[in-house]
């Protein structure tokens, strides 16, 4: 038996009590002359093993919405990569088909630490290309925790109310952070900024981590910066000794990150289990997409560009308007809210009906399961969108190809009027 897997991200790990990464890459895998290959399903839940072969379904796939997007990366060794050149950003960019440029440097700080080996992150920003990327991703605070707590190099400071850069106290962490974000905004006004909040670390003073985190979150809120919150949204906590051993490394083993680290730098398991899903989910939520019906080539459209609750959702010839642009926002468990770009309202099954033919409308997002949709791969870049509350599919009524045909929910029948291309 022969088989070929197309583009996949894989790691080959030994079966010892303390597993060692033997290889890790993104590419194609081919098997030849296999005697048996049983029940291995990429789209199954969780991890599946067949002897030494395991497939892991990616968490929070972006469903192609990030392909071709560009990202500039700034920060310290968490972003750049400690001893190993592939950080979590490389894994995300490889998997999603993005163009990545890393300006980050090991040892960098947000605050003014004259003896920091990597300099200040704002220096990276100033030296970067002026050509605008789609995303600017950055971290900061890991090395600052040492400068603030251990070395007493500068104070944490506070986030003020003004956006005038002359008011920033750049001698503090907070003022330097605001100045860094301000410089990013001035240099790339159209780019989406994403701050990555690193995991809970046993290698840094805990109270200092919490204090810096509050500054980071306040600055993000003030400046409209999205947060990929590995600290708050994942269970990675290297204060727990078992997690420190399993998910961090200090040195390489056979050219790949080992294990048993001090708690700071995530190894491949830490990257793929925690950082990649969190950042992918955040990036994909920031990319507006059209939803194009396979049978007609027409777009899901909020009728009349209405911003009102209850406005009908229909198919219409694709025109590029914001009322045909949608953002997928993770609701957990593989489900997404689908949010209209022009109104900020959610794709909703009216009255939470479970009946065939129930109208699909826009409504203020409230977290109900009638506003949560799970993409199911239908092949060739198309997906069924299945409502959580009913298990039924987003459907163009009567498989009409006409402009103005209404959208509804209907039992999933594998028809092309229930298959949608999500194009960024």
CATH topology of domain 70-286: Rossmann fold (3.40.50)
What's the confidence (pLDDT) of residue 51?
47
pLDDT band at residue 340 using 50, 70 and 90 as cut-offs: very high
What's the confidence (pLDDT) of residue 48?
46
Instruction: Tell me: pLDDT of 56 over 70.
Output: no
What's the confidence (pLDDT) of residue 42?
39
What's the confidence (pLDDT) of residue 165?
98
CATH of domain 290-423: 2.80.10.50
Residue keyed to tokens 């005038």: 164
pLDDT band at residue 25 using 50, 70 and 90 as cut-offs: confident
What's the confidence (pLDDT) of residue 35?
54
What's the confidence (pLDDT) of residue 57?
54
285 alpha carbon, distance to own chain's centre: 7
pLDDT band at residue 65 using 50, 70 and 90 as cut-offs: confident
Query: pTM here?
Result: 0.74
Question: pLDDT of 85-111, one tens digit each?
Answer: 999 999 999 989 999 999 999 999 999
Question: pLDDT of 147-193, one tens digit each?
Answer: 999 999 999 999 999 999 999 999 999 999 999 999 999 999 889 99
CATH 3.40.50.1110 location in the chain: 70-286
Question: What is d(CA 140, CA 147) in angstroms, rounded to the nearest whole number?
Answer: 12
CATH 2.80.10.50 location in the chain: 290-423
What's the confidence (pLDDT) of residue 190?
86
Question: pLDDT of 401-418, one tens digit each?
Answer: 999 999 999 999 999 999
């Amino acid at each position: 038996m022969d088989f070929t897997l197309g583009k996949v991200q894989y790691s080959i790990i030994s079966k010892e009590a303390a597993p060692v990464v033997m290889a890790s890459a993104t590419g194609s895998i081919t098997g030849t002359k296999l005697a048996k290959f049983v029940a291995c399903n990429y789209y199954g839940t969780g991890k599946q093993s067949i002897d030494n072969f395991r497939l892991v379904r990616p968490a929070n796939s972006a469903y192609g919405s990030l392909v071709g997007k560009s990202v500039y990366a700034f920060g310290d060794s968490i972003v750049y990569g400690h001893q190993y050149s592939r950080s979590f950003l490389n894994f995300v960019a490889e998997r999603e088909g993005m163009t990545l440029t890393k300006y980050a440097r090991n040892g960098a700080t947000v605050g003014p630490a004259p003896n920091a080996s990597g300099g200040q992150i704002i220096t990276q920003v100033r030296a970067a290309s002026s050509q605008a990327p789609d995303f600017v991703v950055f971290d900061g605070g890991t090395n600052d925790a040492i400068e603030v707590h251990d070395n007493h190099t500068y104070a944490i400071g506070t986030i003020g109310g003004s956006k005038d850069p002359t008011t920033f106290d750049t001698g503090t962490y907070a003022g330097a952070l605001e100045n860094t974000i301000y410089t990013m905004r001035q240099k790339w006004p159209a780019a989406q900024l994403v701050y990555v909040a690193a995991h809970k670390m046993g290698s840094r003073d805990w109270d200092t981590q919490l204090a810096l985190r509050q500054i980071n979150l306040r600055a993000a809120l003030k400046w409209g910066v999205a947060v990929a919150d590995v600290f708050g949204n994942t269970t990675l906590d290297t204060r727990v000794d078992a997690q420190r051993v399993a998910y961090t490394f200090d040195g390489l083993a056979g050219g790949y990150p080992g294990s048993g680290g001090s708690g700071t730098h995530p190894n491949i398991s830490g990257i793929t289990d925690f950082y990649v899903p969190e950042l992918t989910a955040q990036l994909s939520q920031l990319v507006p997409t059209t939803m194009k019906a396979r049978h007609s080539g027409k777009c899901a459209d909020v009728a009349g560009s209405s911003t009102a609750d209850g406005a009908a959702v229909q198919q219409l010839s694709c025109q590029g308007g914001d009322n045909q642009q949608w953002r997928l926002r993770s609701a957990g468990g593989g489900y997404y809210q689908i949010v209209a770009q022009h109104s900020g309202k959610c794709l909703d099954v009216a009255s939470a009906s479970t009946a065939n033919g129930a109208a699909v409308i826009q409504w203020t997002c409230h977290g109900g399961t009638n506003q949560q949709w799970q993409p199911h791969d239908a092949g060739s870049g198309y997906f069924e969108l299945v409502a959580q509350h009913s298990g039924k599919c987003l459907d163009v009524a009567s498989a009409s190809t006409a402009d103005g045909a209404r959208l509804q929910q209907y039992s999933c029948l594998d028809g092309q009027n229930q298959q949608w291309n999500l194009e960024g």
